[in-house]
């Protein structure tokens, strides 16, 4: 009798487990975005990124791209994926529109574009990183925000004592027409130029 009960119990557990696997497989295949939210709430950010990537690759919707980019920027660092998906999000018109309309839009813009630029640098594409940083800086017209992606690239290059990249950033800074900048921005630019000069000699 005891063996029979145990056998029934094990069969029931196996059946429940099989159903759970089927449910998981269904969500992973057909509804990856909701499952990604579940993973994110559990703190499994790498799993959430994997599922949101699947969701975006399937839907190609702006909302899925936004969620994927934000996961990569704020929760799970993955330079290779960020160079592709965060950059794609930052290059879209909906991103720029969102940044202009939201209260904390500038801070959001700086964080997302810095993630894009640093990811290019980390994967060994410093020239692409500098090109993107220059493009992103144009968003501000004539200003030099302290949190700009160009400064993020400068700090990343300084950490690695990357004289070649720093020299190119210095060249970019020297090309600025300072007449349109505030005194605070001018001082920041001069400080950055001096700090770069100290490293490259």
What is the tens place of the pLDDT at every residue in 146-162? 899 999 999 999 999 99
pLDDT at 58: 93
Q: Which two tokens stand for residue 176?
A: 């600025």
The packing angle between helices 93-101 and 105-122, to 10°, is: 140
Give the three-class secondary structure for 21: helix
The pLDDT of residue 46 is above 50: yes
Taking every pair of C-alpha atoms in the chain, what is the biggest distance, in angstroms? 91
Average pLDDT on 29-58 reads 82
Residue with tokens 């909906």: 94
pLDDT at 28: 42
List all residues 6 or more positions away from 84 whose beta carbon is below 8 Å from its beta carbon.
none
Residue 111 host element (H or E): helix 105-122
Q: How far is 154 from 157, CA to CA, in rounded Å? A: 5
Cα distances (Å, whole numbers) of residue 95 to 12, 30, 55, 91: 50, 27, 19, 7
More confident: 108 or 144: 108
Q: State residue 92 phi and psi, 5-degree precision.
A: -80, 150
Residue with tokens 């794609």: 88
The pLDDT of residue 49 is above 70: yes
pLDDT confidence of 22, banded at 50, 70, 90?
very low
pLDDT at 23: 39
Give the three-class secondary structure for 122: helix
Q: Are 32 and 51 in contact (CB under 8 A)?
A: yes
Q: How far is 49 from 103, CA to CA, in rounded Å? A: 27
List all residues 6 or more positions away from 186 whose beta carbon is below 8 Å from its beta carbon.
178
| Count of other CB atoms within 10 angstroms of residue 16 | 10
């Amino acid at each position: 009798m005891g063996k029979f009960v145990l056998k029934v119990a094990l069969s029931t557990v196996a059946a429940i487990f099989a159903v759970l696997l089927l449910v998981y497989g269904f969500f992973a295949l057909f509804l990856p975005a909701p499952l990604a939210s579940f993973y994110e709430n559990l703190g499994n950010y790498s799993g959430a990124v994997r599922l949101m990537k699947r969701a975006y690759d399937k839907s190609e919707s702006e909302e899925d791209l936004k969620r994927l980019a934000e996961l990569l920027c704020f929760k799970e660092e993955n330079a290779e994926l960020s160079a592709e998906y965060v950059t794609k999000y930052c290059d879209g018109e909906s991103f720029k529109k969102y940044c202009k309309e939201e209260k904390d839009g500038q801070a959001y813009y700086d964080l997302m574009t810095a993630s894009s630029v640093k990811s290019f640098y980390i994967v060994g594409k410093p020239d692409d990183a500098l090109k993107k940083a220059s493009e992103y800086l144009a968003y501000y017209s004539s200003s030099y925000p302290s949190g700009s992606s160009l400064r993020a690239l400068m700090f990343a290059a300084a950490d690695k004592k990357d004289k070649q990249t720093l020299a190119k950033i210095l060249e970019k800074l020297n090309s600025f027409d300072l007449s349109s900048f505030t005194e605070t921005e001018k001082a920041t630019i001069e400080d950055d130029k001096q700090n770069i000069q100290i490293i490259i000699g």
